Amino acid sequence: MAETYTPMIEQYREIKRQHADKILFFRLGDFYEMFFEDAEIAARELEITLTGRDGGAGRRVPMCGVPFHAADTYIARLINKGYKVAICEQVEDPKQAKGIVRREVIKIITPGTVLSDVLLPDKSNNYLVVIHEQNDIITMAGADISTGECYWADFAGPYRLNTLCDHLYRLSPAEIVLTGLLTDKETLDTFLANRLHGCTITNLAIENSETTQELLQHHFPDEELPHSGAAIAVGHLLYYLHQTLKTDLSHVNRLMRYNAAEFMTIDTAALRNLEITRNLRDGGRKDTLLSILDFTQTAMGGRLLKKWLEYPLLSVHEIIRRQDAVDELLTNPGVRQVLQEKLGHIYDLERIVTRAEVGTANGRDLIALKQSLSSLPTIKLHVQSMQSALLGEIGAKMETYEDIVALIDRAIVDNPPHSVRDGGIIKTGYNQELDELREIAQDSQQWLMAFEAREKERTGIKSLKVGYNKVFGYYIEVTNANRAAVPSEYIRKQTLTSAERYITPELKEFETKVLGAQEKIVQLEYYLFTIVRDCVKKHIPRLQETARQLAVIDCLVSLSEAAARYNYRRPAITNNREIIIRDGRHPVVERLLDREVFVPNDTELNHHDCEVMIITGPNMAGKSTYMRQVALLVLMAQVGSFIPAREAAITPVDRIFTRVGASDDLATGQSTFMVEMNEVAHILKHATTNSLVILDEIGRGTSTFDGMSIARAVIEYIKDRIKAKTLFATHYHELTELAEQKKGIKNFTVAVKERGSEVVFLRRIVPGGADKSYGIHVARLAGLPKKVIERAQTILAELEQYAVAHVLAATALPAPQAHVSLFSDPIIEELLKVDIMTTTPLEALNILFKLQKMAKEGSGR
């Protein structure tokens, strides 16, 4: 015989079958309850008590629950752990229900579809991404439903999956929805596991594609509709959003296309190595370029600034437009201060209007909207007075919404309750019927006091009192000692241990009137609130545009504030394919120095006489900082920011590539050297003559001669074929010979000052090549024991003497020849240059190699 459950549990099981992959929050009174496996998972993940409930058939089923008014906090914890939650509500009045109350899932919350403030970071987007592949083209359709953003992008060619992965890393989506088959899905899975391990993956299968196409055509205007392959991806995105949010999504009203030709490309390696918006330590904002430049006052501005840094511009014209605005705000500190103050009073408009559209905005949201819009007239006045084109255009177009401000001010109390269904949200004087009902409710207390006094006088029962409770309503309570004095018209209502409770026709009539008024007040207030909220909904597209305008203003003010505080200068943006920086400083490192002054450095890269900079010098001397500094200053310039430099002239680059640091990729079983070679291969495949390439210590992960050979071949390939502007740091001093052999390669080194056995790194990049590594000195700085340092110096001296002896032996010839001599001038000069006490084993081998080469040339071999 089939197992049977109570009707309520059967209802739960039926709804759960339709949402098997989600945790079902099942509404029972003032709680959301979970049963069976969901209860066990929720109790474990939320650390709440697992209990049980009679499920019928003589058995108890696992159960746990959370208060409905505090559900957002618990849902947030589940979502952050990668779970999906289905919210099941009562959809009919229990008083009118015949049998069990009807329940339905009213929305589904997934990591990519959250709307609650508790679940959303203020200054970061929360993207949901759909990926679809068709005819060797991968289309990505993405949306942040909390802000209404929606766009798509195509990725084609043999490296389309790599390009997609780089784009995904910049977006950091909370959820990715896969539709259909994807070529090389294993590569995508590996990337997600290593770089976006917190992202939830959802597989979506849609049998009827006509449904998605109808959604697409009805949602966006014809001029925004993409081609067939992209249309499928965007259609699937809309379908998934409708299935989860269960609203019309009218706030998602603009479909944009990402055009790679408009922006500098920053791949995953560069974004990580340069720590632009996420640090390498824990992926947070601390000590990133974003943390240094972010003086934004609004959540919208914070999100936009992050985008600007991850998608720098290529257009000289657009960069200069931003620069002009930053410049004007920098030279008008009074205006900048007023704008910062007013922007500080603006809440997250994008997300407020989204909550208004989906019906979750409460009274506090509308008050936040009113306060935000109240700042607009002052912002508009100051912005439209600016002379720069970008600010002037925004100021001219900005609306101020006095009608919405006035409506909310008339209707909504200044400090409304969180719930919109409990009353207390509408101001007195806004609606006559509501005011009359409130008068009835307010007069009730006076009536009750008068009624109680009159009954005491009439009956002579001085202890008589009138009360109320939710179960029995209003009553007259008389102690047992006074029961004999109770009038005959009193109707017994409830018996207590020491008293009796009664009702009278007059009190019953009052109860009906008052309770009816209170119920009507709550219903009318909610109705009036929805009318106001619907008025706001009519303006959603306009409000979204205003939010975007405010975000741009906020970003420009933020960049001008950074320039003022940090003494940044405006770089010239040119078309002559040069990068010239005078006294440049690392924007992050200089802010972290407490007692040191950051040493500035010059840079000059062009396609004439300095296309490749080979930078030698000891570890810890500042080579990596310098190279990252150049990359960050170029990026900042293309964002429209001023930069930490005395002066600069920069031509936009199409891409920035970085190969720095050493790390194993244990998840894929790749060694440090393999990771390094993969990254170098990626650069050599994708770099162009308009790119900026940063290479740090290529070839260190293998043997000396293998590494040196690879490093040299890479430099030659970049110089001869790609012709990208390149900074190449190396410990292979032999590579400095390339500067003599190839025009466009120049040697630079980090200046070092020696004081006896002490060495001081001066942090200055100067022309020339280094001739020492100072490895033991760096080991001393790192804190190796004194005995180890002393022993290393002894061993080094022995190895150097051994190496020199072998040099002499290797260069000795079996028989004198007229045209060659061991003691010929070049060899003598080279031997005299050798400092035996400081030469490392690697340098000794290099000396041997060089002398042998000279000997061969001298002997004619």
**3-state SS, one letter per residue, for 157-211:** CCCHHHHHHHHHHHHCCCEEEEECCCCCHHHHHHHHHHHCCCCEEEEECCCCHHH
Beta bridge mates, 141: 130, 152
CB 582 within 8 A of CB 601: no
CB 813 within 8 A of CB 822: yes
In angstroms, the CA 821 to CA 814 distance is 11
Percent of the chain exceeding pLDDT 70 equals 88
In angstroms, the CA 271 to CA 265 distance is 10
* Range from 491-505, 768-782, 799-813 carrying the lowest mean pLDDT: 799-813
Q: What average pLDDT does range 359-376 have in this prediction?
A: 96
b (16+ CB within 10 A) / e for 235-273: bbbbbbbbebbebebebbbbbeeeeeeebbbbbbbbbbb
Strands of the 265-266 sheet, one edge to the other = 265-266, 655-659, 692-696, 725-729, 610-616, 744-755, 758-767
Position 515 scores a pLDDT of 83
**How far is residue 162 CA from its own chain's centroid?**
21
* Range from 168-182, 312-326, 726-740, 741-755 carrying the lowest mean pLDDT: 741-755
Query: Is 619 annotated in some ligand binding site?
Result: yes
> What is the pTM assigned to this prediction?
0.84
Query: Is 58 annotated in some ligand binding site?
Result: no
Position 218 scores a pLDDT of 86
Where are the strands (E) in 450-577, listed by range? 465-469, 473-479, 491-495, 499-503, 572-573
Q: Which two tokens stand for residue 252?
A: 């998602």
| Backbone Cα Rg of the chain | 37
pLDDT at 665 over 60: no
* Maximum CA extent, the chain: 147
572-781 — its CATH code?
Answer: 3.40.50.300
In angstroms, the CA 833 to CA 848 distance is 13
Strand 572-573 with 499-503, pairing: unpaired
Position 23 scores a pLDDT of 97
pLDDT at 795 over 80: no
Residues contacting residue 268 through CB under 8 Å, at least 6 positions apart: 165, 166, 169, 195
Phi, psi for 60 (deg, rounded to 5): -100, 145
Three-state DSSP class for 437?
helix
The 10s digit of each residue's pLDDT in 486-544 is 999 999 999 999 999 999 999 998 988 888 888 899 999 999 999 999 999 999 999 99
In angstroms, the CA 100 to CA 11 distance is 9
In angstroms, the CA 148 to CA 770 distance is 55
In angstroms, the CA 120 to CA 555 distance is 21
Pick 543 or 663 by higher pLDDT.
543
Residues contacting residue 788 through CB under 8 Å, at least 6 positions apart: 779
CB 717 within 8 A of CB 683: no
The 10s digit of each residue's pLDDT in 205-245 is 887 777 788 888 888 888 888 887 788 899 999 999 999 99
Position 820 scores a pLDDT of 41
Among 770, 834, 775, smallest CA distance to 807 is for 834
Number of Cα atoms under 13 Å in the Cβ half of residue 105: 26
CATH topology for the 7-109 domain: MutS, DNA mismatch repair protein, domain I (3.40.1170)
Query: Is 622 annotated in some ligand binding site?
Result: yes
In angstroms, the CA 624 to CA 612 distance is 16
Calculate the CA dihedral of residues 840, 841, 847, 848 and round it to 10 degrees.
160
Instruction: Tell whether the torsion through CA atoms of 735, 741, 742 and 744 is positive or negative.
Output: positive
Q: What average pLDDT does range 443-472 have in this prediction?
A: 91
Three-state DSSP class for 445?
helix
Strand 137-144 with 128-134, pairing: antiparallel
Query: Is 617 annotated in some ligand binding site?
Result: yes
At 383, the pLDDT band (50, 70, 90 cuts) reads very high
**Residue linked to tokens 């657009």:** 318
**Residue linked to tokens 């005078």:** 582
Calculate the CA dihedral of residues 398, 403, 404, 405 and round it to 10 degrees.
90
Query: Is 747 annotated in some ligand binding site?
Result: no
Position 404 scores a pLDDT of 97
CATH topology for the 432-515 domain: MutS, DNA mismatch repair protein; Chain A, domain 3 (1.10.1420)
At 143, the pLDDT band (50, 70, 90 cuts) reads very high
pLDDT at 832 over 70: no
Q: Helix, strand, coil shares of the chain as percentages rounded to 5?
A: 50, 20, 30
Q: What average pLDDT does range 194-215 have in this prediction?
A: 83
695 CB-contact burial (10 Å; exposed 0-12 / middle 13-18 / buried 19+): buried
pLDDT at 805 over 70: no
Q: What average pLDDT does range 655-667 have in this prediction?
A: 69
In angstroms, the CA 533 to CA 530 distance is 5
Position 170 scores a pLDDT of 94
Query: Is 621 annotated in some ligand binding site?
Result: yes
Q: Which two tokens stand for residue 281?
A: 């330590």
Element containing residue 765 per DSSP (H, E): strand 758-767
Q: What angle do CA 176, 178, 180 make, to 5 degrees?
A: 175
**Residue linked to tokens 């109707």:** 491
Among 400, 326, 410, smallest CA distance to 367 is for 410
pLDDT at 431 over 60: yes
CATH topology for the 316-401+539-566 domain: MutS, DNA mismatch repair protein; Chain A, domain 3 (1.10.1420)
Residues contacting residue 654 through CB under 8 Å, at least 6 positions apart: 264, 265, 314, 688, 690, 691
Position 104 scores a pLDDT of 95
Pick 850 or 447 by higher pLDDT.
447
b (16+ CB within 10 A) / e for 55-75: bbeeeebbbbbbebeebbebb
Q: What average pLDDT does range 109-133 have in this prediction?
A: 91
In angstroms, the CA 340 to CA 558 distance is 9
**Residue linked to tokens 């049980």:** 52
Among 605, 729, 612, smallest CA distance to 661 is for 729
User: CB atoms < 10 A from the CB of 788, how many?
Assistant: 12
Position 667 scores a pLDDT of 42
Q: What average pLDDT does range 713-729 have in this prediction?
A: 95
* Range from 42-51, 230-239, 720-729, 813-822 carrying the lowest mean pLDDT: 813-822
At 758, the pLDDT band (50, 70, 90 cuts) reads low
Query: Is 624 annotated in some ligand binding site?
Result: yes
**How far is residue 620 CA from its own chain's centroid?**
32
In angstroms, the CA 400 to CA 376 distance is 5
CB 641 within 8 A of CB 559: yes
b (16+ CB within 10 A) / e for 409-430: eebbeeebeeebeebebbbeeb
**Helical residues (DSSP H) of 315-431, grouped into ranges:** 316-330, 333-343, 349-358, 363-374, 376-383, 389-397, 402-411
In angstroms, the CA 619 to CA 761 distance is 10
CB 642 within 8 A of CB 568: yes
Superfamily the domain 122-258 falls into: MutS, connector domain (3.30.420.110)
Percent of the chain exceeding pLDDT 90 equals 64
